[in-house]
Amino acid sequence: MSLTEARSHNLSKMKFFAFDSFEGLPQPVSDTSVEIWKKGALTTSEDEFMKMVREQGHYVDKVRTVKGYYENSLTDKLQAEFIEDCSKAMLVNIDCDLYESAVPVFNFIEPLLQEGSVIYIDDLFAGYKGSPNKGVAKAFLEYQQRSRWQFHRHLSIGWWGRSYIVSLDKVEHQGLL
Protein backbone atom coordinates (compact mmCIF):
# COMPACT_ATOMS: atom_id res chain seq x y z
CA MET A 1 0.00 0.00 0.00
CA SER A 2 2.86 2.38 0.80
CA LEU A 3 4.48 1.71 -2.55
CA THR A 4 1.21 2.36 -4.39
CA GLU A 5 0.63 5.61 -2.50
CA ALA A 6 4.20 6.76 -3.15
CA ARG A 7 3.76 6.11 -6.85
CA SER A 8 0.40 7.92 -7.00
CA HIS A 9 2.12 10.99 -5.50
CA ASN A 10 5.27 10.60 -7.62
CA LEU A 11 7.50 10.21 -4.56
CA SER A 12 10.30 8.48 -6.43
CA LYS A 13 13.00 9.49 -3.94
CA MET A 14 11.40 7.68 -1.02
CA LYS A 15 13.07 4.67 0.54
CA PHE A 16 11.19 1.76 2.08
CA PHE A 17 12.53 -0.46 4.83
CA ALA A 18 10.94 -3.72 5.92
CA PHE A 19 12.17 -4.95 9.28
CA ASP A 20 11.12 -8.51 10.02
CA SER A 21 12.50 -11.76 11.32
CA PHE A 22 11.10 -13.47 8.22
CA GLU A 23 10.92 -16.46 10.58
CA GLY A 24 7.67 -15.64 12.33
CA LEU A 25 7.22 -14.68 15.94
CA PRO A 26 9.92 -15.19 18.55
CA GLN A 27 9.14 -17.38 21.54
CA PRO A 28 6.64 -15.26 23.52
CA VAL A 29 7.84 -14.24 26.97
CA SER A 30 4.55 -12.60 27.97
CA ASP A 31 1.29 -14.49 28.27
CA THR A 32 -1.16 -13.81 25.46
CA SER A 33 -4.75 -14.85 24.84
CA VAL A 34 -3.97 -15.90 21.26
CA GLU A 35 -3.12 -19.57 21.14
CA ILE A 36 -1.45 -19.42 17.73
CA TRP A 37 1.10 -16.81 18.86
CA LYS A 38 3.93 -19.30 19.29
CA LYS A 39 7.52 -19.29 18.07
CA GLY A 40 7.50 -19.36 14.27
CA ALA A 41 3.83 -18.39 13.86
CA LEU A 42 2.87 -15.84 11.21
CA THR A 43 5.92 -16.57 9.06
CA THR A 44 6.42 -14.89 5.70
CA SER A 45 9.84 -15.57 4.22
CA GLU A 46 11.96 -12.79 2.82
CA ASP A 47 11.53 -14.29 -0.66
CA GLU A 48 7.74 -14.38 -0.28
CA PHE A 49 7.73 -10.78 0.93
CA MET A 50 9.85 -9.55 -1.97
CA LYS A 51 7.61 -11.48 -4.39
CA MET A 52 4.64 -9.48 -3.04
CA VAL A 53 6.62 -6.26 -3.51
CA ARG A 54 7.52 -7.20 -7.09
CA GLU A 55 3.86 -7.97 -7.82
CA GLN A 56 3.07 -4.35 -6.92
CA GLY A 57 5.61 -3.29 -9.53
CA HIS A 58 6.24 0.11 -7.93
CA TYR A 59 9.62 1.25 -6.61
CA VAL A 60 10.82 -2.32 -6.11
CA ASP A 61 14.41 -1.09 -6.17
CA LYS A 62 13.65 1.26 -3.25
CA VAL A 63 12.72 -1.56 -0.84
CA ARG A 64 15.37 -2.80 1.57
CA THR A 65 14.77 -5.65 3.99
CA VAL A 66 16.43 -5.91 7.38
CA LYS A 67 16.21 -9.47 8.62
CA GLY A 68 16.23 -10.53 12.25
CA TYR A 69 14.33 -10.32 15.49
CA TYR A 70 14.14 -6.68 16.55
CA GLU A 71 16.27 -6.98 19.68
CA ASN A 72 19.10 -8.12 17.36
CA SER A 73 18.48 -6.22 14.12
CA LEU A 74 17.53 -2.76 15.41
CA THR A 75 21.06 -1.90 16.46
CA ASP A 76 22.59 1.38 17.57
CA LYS A 77 24.85 1.15 14.50
CA LEU A 78 21.89 0.87 12.12
CA GLN A 79 20.10 3.70 13.88
CA ALA A 80 23.25 5.86 13.54
CA GLU A 81 23.37 5.06 9.80
CA PHE A 82 19.81 6.33 9.39
CA ILE A 83 20.60 9.47 11.40
CA GLU A 84 23.80 10.12 9.43
CA ASP A 85 21.88 9.69 6.16
CA CYS A 86 19.30 12.21 7.48
CA SER A 87 16.63 9.55 7.00
CA LYS A 88 13.40 10.50 8.70
CA ALA A 89 10.29 8.38 8.89
CA MET A 90 7.10 9.43 7.15
CA LEU A 91 5.21 6.26 8.04
CA VAL A 92 6.07 3.66 10.64
CA ASN A 93 3.97 0.50 10.56
CA ILE A 94 4.37 -1.46 13.78
CA ASP A 95 3.02 -4.99 13.57
CA CYS A 96 4.75 -6.78 16.44
CA ASP A 97 1.95 -8.56 18.33
CA LEU A 98 4.15 -9.04 21.40
CA TYR A 99 5.32 -6.62 24.09
CA GLU A 100 8.88 -7.89 23.92
CA SER A 101 8.97 -7.30 20.16
CA ALA A 102 7.49 -3.79 20.33
CA VAL A 103 9.85 -2.32 22.94
CA PRO A 104 12.98 -2.32 20.71
CA VAL A 105 10.94 -0.87 17.82
CA PHE A 106 9.84 2.15 19.86
CA ASN A 107 13.42 2.67 21.10
CA PHE A 108 14.74 2.52 17.54
CA ILE A 109 12.31 4.98 15.94
CA GLU A 110 12.63 7.82 18.49
CA PRO A 111 15.35 9.82 16.66
CA LEU A 112 13.94 8.95 13.23
CA LEU A 113 10.54 10.56 13.76
CA GLN A 114 9.68 14.05 12.59
CA GLU A 115 6.69 16.29 12.99
CA GLY A 116 3.95 14.86 10.81
CA SER A 117 5.22 11.28 10.90
CA VAL A 118 2.40 8.77 11.06
CA ILE A 119 2.68 5.72 13.28
CA TYR A 120 0.29 2.88 12.57
CA ILE A 121 0.18 0.25 15.30
CA ASP A 122 -1.47 -2.98 14.26
CA ASP A 123 -2.75 -5.27 17.01
CA LEU A 124 -2.57 -2.48 19.58
CA PHE A 125 -5.02 -4.29 21.84
CA ALA A 126 -5.02 -7.78 20.33
CA GLY A 127 -3.78 -10.78 22.25
CA TYR A 128 -4.28 -9.41 25.73
CA LYS A 129 -8.05 -9.16 25.97
CA GLY A 130 -7.93 -5.43 25.28
CA SER A 131 -5.79 -4.56 28.29
CA PRO A 132 -3.75 -1.36 27.85
CA ASN A 133 -1.39 -2.72 30.52
CA LYS A 134 -0.18 -5.63 28.41
CA GLY A 135 1.32 -6.33 25.02
CA VAL A 136 1.95 -3.70 22.38
CA ALA A 137 -0.36 -1.22 24.16
CA LYS A 138 1.83 -1.42 27.28
CA ALA A 139 4.99 -0.91 25.19
CA PHE A 140 3.40 2.14 23.53
CA LEU A 141 2.30 3.62 26.87
CA GLU A 142 5.82 3.24 28.25
CA TYR A 143 7.26 4.77 25.11
CA GLN A 144 4.94 7.78 25.24
CA GLN A 145 6.02 8.49 28.81
CA ARG A 146 9.71 8.71 27.88
CA SER A 147 9.45 10.16 24.35
CA ARG A 148 9.97 13.80 23.48
CA TRP A 149 7.18 13.44 20.91
CA GLN A 150 3.45 13.85 21.31
CA PHE A 151 1.17 11.30 19.66
CA HIS A 152 -2.18 12.58 18.42
CA ARG A 153 -4.77 9.92 17.81
CA HIS A 154 -5.64 9.79 14.14
CA LEU A 155 -7.54 6.79 12.77
CA SER A 156 -8.83 3.57 14.27
CA ILE A 157 -8.47 0.62 11.94
CA GLY A 158 -10.87 -2.13 12.92
CA TRP A 159 -10.88 -3.01 16.60
CA TRP A 160 -7.20 -3.89 16.58
CA GLY A 161 -5.24 -1.01 15.11
CA ARG A 162 -4.77 2.71 15.48
CA SER A 163 -2.72 5.42 13.87
CA TYR A 164 -1.16 8.50 15.42
CA ILE A 165 0.34 11.70 14.06
CA VAL A 166 3.59 12.81 15.67
CA SER A 167 4.29 16.36 16.80
CA LEU A 168 6.13 18.31 19.44
CA ASP A 169 2.95 20.14 20.50
CA LYS A 170 1.43 19.45 23.88
CA VAL A 171 -2.33 18.92 23.88
CA GLU A 172 -4.35 19.22 27.06
CA HIS A 173 -6.35 16.19 28.22
CA GLN A 174 -4.96 13.83 25.61
CA GLY A 175 -5.25 10.17 26.46
CA LEU A 176 -2.14 8.05 26.13
CA LEU A 177 -3.90 5.56 23.86
The DSSP line for 8-19 is HTT-TT--EEEE
- Range ranked top by mean pLDDT from 1-5, 10-14, 40-44, 113-117: 113-117
Q: What is the pLDDT of residue 22?
A: 94
Looking at CATH, the fold of the domain delimited by 2-167 is given as Rossmann fold (3.40.50)
Where residue 175 falls among pLDDT bands split at 50, 70, 90? low
Q: Is the alpha carbon torsion for 126, 105, 168, 13 positive or negative?
A: negative
Helices (H), the chain: 2-8, 46-56, 70-73, 76-84, 99-109, 135-146
Percent helix, percent strand, percent coil in the chain, to nearest 5: 35, 20, 45
Q: Is the pLDDT of residue 130 over 80?
A: no
- Which residue would you say has higher pLDDT here, 92 or 13? 92
Answer whether 134's CB lies under 8 Å from 99's CB.
Answer: yes
Answer whether 124's CB lies under 8 Å from 137's CB.
Answer: yes
Share of the chain above pLDDT 70, in %: 95
pLDDT, average across residues 104-108 = 97
Where residue 27 falls among pLDDT bands split at 50, 70, 90? confident
Mean pLDDT for the chain overall: 88
